[in-house]
Amino acid sequence: MLRLTDIKLPLDHDDSALAAAIISKLAIAADDLLNINVFKRGYDARNNRDIQLIYTVDVEVNSEADLLAKFAKDTQVRVTPDMTYKFVAQAPENLTHRPVVVGLGPCGIFAALILAQMGFKPIVLERGKAVRERTKDTFGFWRKQPLNPESNVQFGEGGAGTFSDGKLYSQVKDRKHYGRKVLHEFVEAGAPEEILYVSKPHIGTFKLVSMVEKMRQQIIDLGGEIRFSTRVEKLDLDEQDGQFAVKGLHLSDGDYLACKQVILALGHSARDTFQNLYEQGVYIEAKPFSIGFRIEHEQSMIDRCRFGDNAGNPILGAADYKLVHHCKNGRTVYSFCMCPGGTVVAAASEPGRVVTNGMSQYSRHERNANSAIVVGITPEQDYPGHPLAGIELQRRLEELAFKAGGENYNAPGQLIGDFLAGKPSAELGEVTPSYTPGVTLTDLSKVVPDYVTQAIREAIPAFDRQIKGFAKADGTLTGVETRTSSPVCIKRDKDYQSVNVKGLYPAGEGAGYAGGIWSAGIDGIRVAEALALAF
């Protein structure tokens, strides 16, 4: 099979155009093209009057070897790489001990699934509830019911990405094609097939919920075991010459679980667990992350700006954007986790604190576009002196946001025009912020450090030069956005084990090795393989 890249066709091309373009590129007779499989379809909308679809295709042809020789110098014609997933190990017939996976977010799900598929019958411990019950708690909180600190947007089956846009792309290097395995398993569990070939796939919240249930069932069917509402409190460690090894786990229900290998897929919000691990001597470092606000505009404005007269074309869907600005004060501001046609969500996991994030449904049909507009911060410059200092900074800002919101989990909010002018907002304009339980208009500069206010005030007008209307006075900002990535890294070695605790495999976003659903899934596979090979 041959892989052809960079085949460009107009947005409105007819069905036969792709085959015609392949035949023309390869200069073959129509009969010599036996089969076409679209591997990837993206688009180039830089000129929105002439939007191009860009295809990567795998084709079966007659005389493949001749064509390869003919196009030897053409990087756009290659042999299709073998991307099928191959298991690296198989569990022994008589398992003497079972690996444990802590956390059932995307990283934990894929770690457990791969271990189960290799026959290791993992035990999964998840502090939150099963996804249906968790959905009730989370949606309940958004409707003014009390926050459940163990069952919310961050904690529970499916992990942080369950109530999300379900974007499945990232810039991680993936030479072993684990990302394909993640996508295939998602499709197997009910994701739309198009995630296998569109360049920026997304799934949306409701589909994710049922997919997570199916993946859980597969783990159980293969001999795995899943314990919900079970938080890992402490590790039980053996110590020899300053080197630790895992011996067992102390659990929140009072149980003790003896084990030798533990994958820690905690996510970025397990602050209490990070504290316990640190106190037990597990090596943890502070790492950079980003803070700022959620911005909302009408989706129709973003669509018009990006796609012009082609706005609304079903192939393009709702438009997204990605923006970066380097500020005079040395800071970088960028858009993050952009959710086209979505809503801003209350993403707190601790009482007395307010955090924003974004989600959407598969259809992306809500009125507003939202994204985080955040400023990169580093331990050296902004929270020096302690590995957990980033968590303290997050907590402080989330408390300020809670107070500014009125101490009822409303998010503090401000109109973009007022934020740029430095005055508190009193009345909404055309853009209605989507965050529930509600938004309290105020002055957002009160909830973030001055350098953040300064940097975002400089960046928004700069973004307006790329997306006309981005600085529109009645667009809205809500906050505070603090959970962009983990504030810590639980350092691991080349063998994927903690640098000072044998048998402990820090993984996924919380350990600092992933950012997003797809990359967390990929890391879960990597770590499961490392554990299996060391079993």
Interface with ligand FAD (CB under 6 A), residue from 99, 105, 405, 475: 105
Q: Which is nearer to ligand FAD, 453 or 476 (CB)?
A: 476
Q: Which is nearer to ligand FAD, 134 or 472 (CB)?
A: 134
Q: Give the Cα separation of 195 and 183 in Å (integer).
A: 7
Q: Which is nearer to ligand FAD, 435 or 463 (CB)?
A: 435
Q: Give the Cα separation of 398 and 163 in Å (integer).
A: 20
Nearest to 480 by CA among 356, 396, 319: 356
Stretch touching ligand FAD by CB under 6 A, among 158-166, 184-192, 308-316, 470-478: 158-166
Stretch touching ligand FAD by CB under 6 A, among 9-17, 368-376, 457-465, 502-510: 502-510
CA quadruple 193, 194, 200, 201: dihedral sign:
negative
Does 490 participate in binding ligand FAD (rule CB under 6 A)?
no
Cross-sheet strand order for the sheet of 52-61: 33-44, 52-61, 2-10, 77-79
Helices 131-142 and 205-221 cross at an angle (nearest 10°) of 150
Does 237 participate in binding ligand FAD (rule CB under 6 A)?
no
Q: How far apart are CB 345 and ligand FAD at their closest, in Å?
A: 5
Q: How far apart are CB 60 and ligand FAD at their closest, in Å?
A: 33
| Look-up of token digits 């003014």 | 144
Contact 159, 105 (CB under 8 A): yes
Does 340 participate in binding ligand FAD (rule CB under 6 A)?
no
Count of residues that bind ligand FAD according to CB under 6 A: 44
Q: Give the Cα separation of 435 and 70 in Å (integer).
A: 58
71: helix, strand or coil: coil
Does 350 participate in binding ligand FAD (rule CB under 6 A)?
no
Give the list of residues 6+ apart from residue 357 with CB closer than 8 angstroms, or none.
153, 164, 294, 337, 344, 345, 347, 372, 481, 483
Q: Which is nearer to ligand FAD, 299 or 453 (CB)?
A: 299
- Residues 420 to 459: which contact ligand FAD by CB under 6 A? none
Does 126 participate in binding ligand FAD (rule CB under 6 A)?
yes
Q: How far apart are CB 92 and ligand FAD at their closest, in Å?
A: 27
Does 108 participate in binding ligand FAD (rule CB under 6 A)?
yes
- Residues 252 to 311: which contact ligand FAD by CB under 6 A? 265-267, 270, 273
Does 166 participate in binding ligand FAD (rule CB under 6 A)?
yes
Q: Give the Cα separation of 160 and 272 in Å (integer).
A: 16
Residues in a beta bridge with 441: 413
| Look-up of token digits 């990283």 | 107
Q: Give the Cα separation of 122 and 107 in Å (integer).
A: 14
Q: Which is nearer to ligand FAD, 103 or 479 (CB)?
A: 103
Does 504 participate in binding ligand FAD (rule CB under 6 A)?
no
Interface with ligand FAD (CB under 6 A), residue from 341, 433, 487, 510: 510
Q: What is the 3-state secondary structure (H, E, C) of 324-366?
A: EEECCCCCEEEEEEEECCCEEEECCCCCCCCCEEEECCCCCCC
Does 138 participate in binding ligand FAD (rule CB under 6 A)?
no
Interface with ligand FAD (CB under 6 A), residue from 123, 319, 520, 530: 520
Does 91 participate in binding ligand FAD (rule CB under 6 A)?
no
| Look-up of token digits 């598969």 | 362
The whole-angstrom distance between residue 100's C-alpha and the CA centroid of its chain comes to: 23
Q: Can you list the alpha helix ranges (DSSP code H) found in 202-360? A: 205-221, 271-279, 299-307
Does 522 participate in binding ligand FAD (rule CB under 6 A)?
no
Q: Which is nearer to ligand FAD, 161 or 412 (CB)?
A: 161
Does 100 participate in binding ligand FAD (rule CB under 6 A)?
no
Interface with ligand FAD (CB under 6 A), residue from 7, 56, 165, 284: 165
518, containing H or E segment: helix 517-534
Interface with ligand FAD (CB under 6 A), residue from 67, 131, 337, 471: 337
Q: Which is nearer to ligand FAD, 102 or 452 (CB)?
A: 102
Interface with ligand FAD (CB under 6 A), residue from 164, 299, 371, 476: 164
Does 161 participate in binding ligand FAD (rule CB under 6 A)?
yes
Q: How far apart are CB 371 and ligand FAD at their closest, in Å?
A: 11
Does 215 participate in binding ligand FAD (rule CB under 6 A)?
no
Q: Which is nearer to ligand FAD, 125 or 259 (CB)?
A: 125
Q: How far is CA 291 from CA 393, 394, 399, 483, 535, in A?
A: 10, 8, 14, 8, 40
Q: Give the CA-trace dihedral at 150, 518, 509, 113, to 10 degrees.
A: 70
Residues of the shown chain interacting with ligand FAD in the complex, contacts defined by CB under 6 A: 102-108, 125-128, 153, 155-156, 159-161, 163-167, 231-232, 265-267, 270, 273, 337, 345, 347, 357-359, 508-510, 514-518, 520
